[in-house]
Amino acid sequence: MRAARLTSPSAAPTGAVSAGGAAPVVLVAHGSRDPRAAEATRALARAVSTARPGLQVWSSWLDHTEPGPTEVLRALAVAGHRRAVVVPLLLTAAYHRRVDIPAAVAAATRAEPTLAARVTDVLGPADGTADPLLLAALRRRLGEAGPGRFDALVLAAAGTRDARARGSVGQVAAALSEDFGVPCRVSYASAAPPATGVAVSRLRAAGARRVAVAAYFLAPGLFHDTVAEAARTAGAVAVAAPLTDAPELARLVLRRVDDLSAVPSAA
């Protein structure tokens, strides 16, 4: 596998020199056939770089879009970098965080032994609690979806068969419920029930008249499109957009980087 070139338009860093000698940051998204998803990742990379001027921020994808994280990390090593921080653009710590991303990092460091790459926590709950910045980003998107109060919420997520990952989605829903003072139910676009339309219908059957859907997605694509259509068909009054480049999300990426930097690396 060849290293990506630093001059590749899809891989070029958003900053020319890392701020204060900081290690460059490599964002790793899931990837999608939908070009809107890749653009959302690039937009978030720009937002992170804007929030910390001078920091090199690269985009990479596990599937469908190039370059992959292994190629970007190898390119950084070839360019003379000795450290890098990898941030999984994931909302749950399921298979991609546990297997795919560590494998990509390991492949890069085998090929380029001079590079030390460390991986941060995902953007979803990392210690059993939802980060206030993540909740603020969800509230922002809900506010943009439509004015007025809601008497119930549905948190729509992509879905996973991993029970612990589903539990972390439930933690976010519980935090949103407390924030808004209304019930918040979890729904999934795939892999686990209930579907979003079902969750909205159940809340309405229980007496809720203004049900809004918070989108627990980082980027637009088929899942969000499907969720939005089903929610509106079931009577939801508002469906939030994906988080994409919300300023709170950019700050959360930097928080993950800073939290990792505060922990000494293994000898």
β-strand 238-239 against 211-216: which pairing, if any? Answer: parallel
Determine the average pLDDT of the residues in 78-96: 92
Q: Decide whether 19-122 matches 132-239 in CATH topology.
A: yes
Name the 3-class secondary structure at 170: helix
pLDDT tops 90 at residue 264: no
* Domain boundaries of the chain, sorted by first residue: 19-122, 132-239
Helices (H), the chain: 35-51, 69-78, 95, 101-111, 132-145, 163-180, 196-205, 222-233, 247-261
Q: Do 201 and 234 form a contact (C-beta atoms < 8 A)?
A: yes
Q: What is the pLDDT of residues 168-204, one digit of tens each?
A: 999 999 999 999 999 999 999 987 899 999 999 999 9
28, β-bridge pairs: 60, 88
Protein fold of 19-122: Rossmann fold (3.40.50)
Rounded Cα distance between 145 and 148, Å, is: 10
Domain 132-239 coded CATH 3.40.50.1400: yes
Q: What is the mean pLDDT of residues 89-110?
A: 91
Q: Tokens 């990898």, residue?
A: 86
Question: What pLDDT sits at residue 11?
Answer: 41
User: 93 with 165: CB under 8 angstroms?
Assistant: yes
pLDDT at res. 247: 98
**Which pLDDT does position 20 carry in this prediction?**
55
For residue 90, with 0-12 CB atoms within 10 Å meaning exposed, 13-18 middle and 19 or more buried, which class applies?
buried
The CA-atom distances, in angstroms, between 55 and each of 18, 44, 103, 252 are 4, 13, 25, 15
Residue 253 contacts residue 123 (beta carbons within 8 Å): yes
**Contact call for residues 17 and 54 (beta carbons, < 8 A):** yes
Condensed to tens digits (0 to 9), the pLDDT of residues 119-163 reads: 999 999 978 889 999 999 999 999 999 877 899 999 999 988 888
